[in-house]
A and B are shown apart, each in its own frame.
Chain A
Amino acid sequence: MGYVVSKDALEGDAHFYLDCTACHKGDSSKAAKDGAHTGLVRRPSDDPVGSCGQCHEETAKTYTLSLHYTAAGMKHGVSPRFDAPGERIFEEKVFQQSCRSCHASCGDCHVKSPVISGVDSGLLDGHRFVKKAEDKTCALCHGGRVWPEFTGDYGGTPDVHYRKGMTCSDCHEGKQFHGDGVAYEGRKQVADKPSCAGCHDLSKLGKASTKETHATHADGVSCSACHTASAYRQCSSCHLGGGASASPAIVLGHSPRTPGQLTTLRLIPTGRATFAPAGLEMKNYDSLPNYWDTVPHNIAKRTDRTRDCDTCHQEGLYYLETERLPAGGSTKNLELVP
């Protein structure tokens, strides 16, 4: 727990074949903390190639191009809203200094819990290099929505996969995070990623009526549109202002990334004035909508939609409506209204 490097770890983990200074620098000839800690590197794996890369050469190289390291997904989720000069300023003044700072080091998933909102829970297991510790790693960075959605901690329904004992890396394998050497601009482009249909062969599953429902909707409706159990977080509280509320909800609309598909949408927190404090105007604000398609992690076999086709076909219960669009939002939103 905490910062104690355990003796067990030192003896049992191959990494301590190296001296502390091999990774952390500092000066091991000095006995007092001040001297010994001169030049100390607290997060050696922020430089994956220089630290871990000595031995995990391939992983370290590809990792520097992966989304967890570059945070390119967050960047490209906003940058098209700027004109060319604006984008340059955004990159320097906002992205590198603020967004990029929440990227992950190797150690964030394998050695030490990431620090979130100033809370630091220390080493994962006495400095042992662990393959995974999802409840102390993924859970913290993705604690705003994905993790609690999955476990039901918001008082929602625990995901059926969680109930069956599956956790994040049962679907998201190391490869997805270590990268494959391609610098992707967003998660949709990533080649190694899970897909519902990759594990479930729908032509073989369930009763005849289930097979028929799956076949009729195969192209036009995403799995999550029907199987998302309960409301998931919408980010509206943060920046959109003007009457938006933080209340969780299910929102169904056209996917901005898969044309012609009805799917679950998530409101994203970039308002017209989000970067005004940094003196930045989004000249092309309307080039992106205020919603992204999302795969909420609270899947259930049965939902109000699987129980009753009319939830969509008659009532359009969760359908995005023009009146529900955020005031002053992007004009692009209109294209998402079913």
Chain B
Amino acid sequence: MKKALPILLAAALVAPAFARGVDPIVSVEWLAANSAKPGVVVVDVRKVDDYKAGHVPGAVNVLGLFVAKDGLSNEVPEADDLSEIIADAGIDAASTVVVVEADGARFAWATRVAWTLVYAGVPNVAVLDGGYAEWTKAGKETASGFESRDGTDFKVKFVDSYISTKDYVVKNLRRAQIVDARSYDTYFGVTKQGFVEQFGHIPGATALPASWLTVGGLVRPKAELEEAVKALKLDPKKDMVVHCDSGVLCTAWWWILSQQLGWTKVRSYDGSAQEISKDPAVKFVKYVWK
């Protein structure tokens, strides 16, 4: 007994600081059983036309949760705009929200929305595993047209420890673990997006491609993902910043690390390479694996 105690304590330290009321990734079966429960809001983030053509019954269509701003492709909207979008969708801080994207290939777009919601102060958010494609594949009921819910008076209360700014990255360049969720080719420096200024990656960054997360359209089992990040020697007790090219893909790994594995020191950097590659203080390295 004496020996077990410190281990339990250590476990308590890395465990999530909050009690989640819902798994961060839910299955079609879970959603079918729970979507009509009071307090559950299903948020469909596909294009309006796709949503209108067919969606999970009761789901509301929500767009504009990440926007272009100041030359960056995917930024968090201004607090008042974001509050209004969330309130109009019928969500408040006590809601259980399930985010539905098109399919597994769009997992990161779902987590980008999910990250935005938890960052805005709605803690119980889940992503539908496999998205709407999985829902229809399972032959579940669908509805068409446009649905809405009664608005709430939700106001955002940002959870600052979920986000990284450029300043944070620059200040913690040597200290924090930098995780690069882009493809191996991009990380290695043989290719890059036009809007990113430099080839390669932030020195010392660990490559952890977002494309590893799903297989056959579904998120890989938690144990498998945990094994992969452990093998890469990522440390849950040390500060960590996940980035990609423009702030979408990185939220996929953030979602797993922070919300599923319960790591409390992970931040997602929405400006990502698009922003930081323009900073002369940060010199990317290429043709190396570290």
Contacts and interface: CB of A to CB of B under 8 A. Distances in A.
Contacts of A157: 64, 67-68
Interface in B26-74: 47-49, 52, 61-64, 67-68, 73-74
B81 A302 contact: yes
Interface in A34-57: none
B269 to A, nearest CB: 18
B74 to A, nearest CB: 8
Identify the interface centre among A134, A155, A156, A300: most chain B CB within 10 Å of its CB: A155
Given A134-B49, A135-B49, A162-B48, A155 B73 contact: yes
A334 B52 CA distance: 46
B146 A163 contact: no
Nearest 8 pairs between A and B by C-beta?
Answer: A165-B146, A135-B49, A155-B68, A158-B63, A157-B67, A155-B73, A163-B63, A158-B64
A301 B81 CA distance: 9
Contacts of A151: 47-48
B78 interface: yes
B2 to A, nearest CB: 58
A165 B46 CA distance: 12
Given A134-B49, A165-B48, A167-B49, A152 B63 contact: yes
B52 to A, nearest CB: 7
Nearest to A231: B68
Interface in A152-173: 152, 155-158, 162-163, 165, 167
25 contacts: A134-B49, A135-B49, A151-B47, A152-B63, A152-B64, A152-B67, A155-B73, A156-B67, A156-B68, A157-B64, A157-B67, A158-B63, A158-B64, A162-B63, A163-B63, A165-B48, A165-B52, A165-B61, A165-B146, A165-B148, A167-B49, A301-B81, A301-B84, A302-B80, A302-B81
Contacts of A155: 68, 73-74
Nearest to A154: B68
A302 B63 contact: no
A330 interface: no
A106 to B, nearest CB: 21
A15 B277 CA distance: 58
A165 B52 CA distance: 8
A264 interface: no
Interface of B: 47-49, 52, 61-64, 67-68, 73-74, 78, 80-81, 84-85, 146, 148
A215 to B, nearest CB: 23
Interface of A: 134-135, 151-152, 155-158, 162-163, 165, 167, 230, 300-302
Nearest to A167: B48
A167 to B, nearest CB: 7
Contact of B68 (A167, A230, A301): A230
Given A151-B48, A162-B48, A165-B52, 14 more contacts: A134-B49, A135-B47, A135-B49, A152-B64, A152-B67, A157-B68, A163-B85, A165-B148, A167-B49, A230-B68, A300-B81, A301-B81, A301-B84, A302-B81
A155 B146 CA distance: 24
A302 B78 CA distance: 9
A134 B49 CA distance: 8
A151 B52 CA distance: 14
A167 B63 CA distance: 14
Nearest to A302: B81
Contacts of A152: 63-64, 67
The winner among B47, B80, B148 for most chain A CB atoms within 10 A is: B47
A124 to B, nearest CB: 12
Contacts of A158: 63-64
A194 to B, nearest CB: 18
Contacts of B81: 300-302
A248 to B, nearest CB: 10
A196 B29 CA distance: 44
A167 B80 CA distance: 25
A125 to B, nearest CB: 11
A142 to B, nearest CB: 14
A157 B72 CA distance: 12
A151 B84 CA distance: 19
A301 to B, nearest CB: 8
A151 B68 CA distance: 13
A156 B73 CA distance: 8
A139 to B, nearest CB: 9
